[in-house]
């Protein structure tokens, strides 16, 4: 099946204490989704259920991301989550804690 991308949204999320990559990624996805309101479905003859949503999240430790928790942030469509290397870890001045910053791209495609 050929997919055509219709939407690209970006977001950033932070877990200020605790170093939780999934929490930071959830916040990045939430940030991206809060900046969009998709009102074209009827005009384009599309349905929300037809969406293919790829969520790419970048954090320093991609293996630490819970893909199911990230996918649960997306309310419609068929969702895939791809953690990748990126983001930023900022250690505290004592080194006992760290701030985790995640970036997310939410890519929405429809069958051609």
Summarised one tens digit per residue, pLDDT across range 87-102 is 999 998 988 899 999 9
CATH number of domain containing 80: 3.30.1330.20
- Asked, for residue 14, whether it belongs to a domain, the answer is yes
Quote the pTM value: 0.91
Task: Please spell the DSSP secondary structure of 36-98, one letter per residue.
Answer: -----HHHHT--GGG-EEEEEEEES-GGG--HHHHHTT--SSEEEEEEEE--EEEE-TTSS-E
Query: What's the number of domains the chain is made of?
Result: 1
Within a domain: 41 = no
The segments of the chain whose pLDDT lies below 70 read none
Residue 12, domain extent: 3-35+47-111
Percent pLDDT > 90 in the chain is 78
In a domain, 29, yes or no: yes
């Amino acid at each position: 099946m050929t997919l055509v991308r219709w939407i690209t949204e970006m977001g950033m999320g932070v877990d200020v204490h605790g170093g939780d990559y999934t929490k930071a990624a959830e916040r990045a996805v939430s940030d991206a989704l809060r900046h969009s309101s998709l009102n074209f479905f009827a005009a384009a003859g599309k349905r929300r259920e037809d969406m293919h949503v790829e969520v790419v999240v970048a954090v320093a430790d991609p293996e630490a991301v819970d893909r199911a928790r990230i996918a649960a942030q997306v309310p419609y469509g068929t969702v895939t989550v791809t953690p990748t290397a990126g983001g930023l870890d900022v250690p505290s001045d004592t080194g006992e804690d760290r701030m985790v910053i995640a970036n997310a791209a939410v890519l929405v495609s429809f069958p051609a």
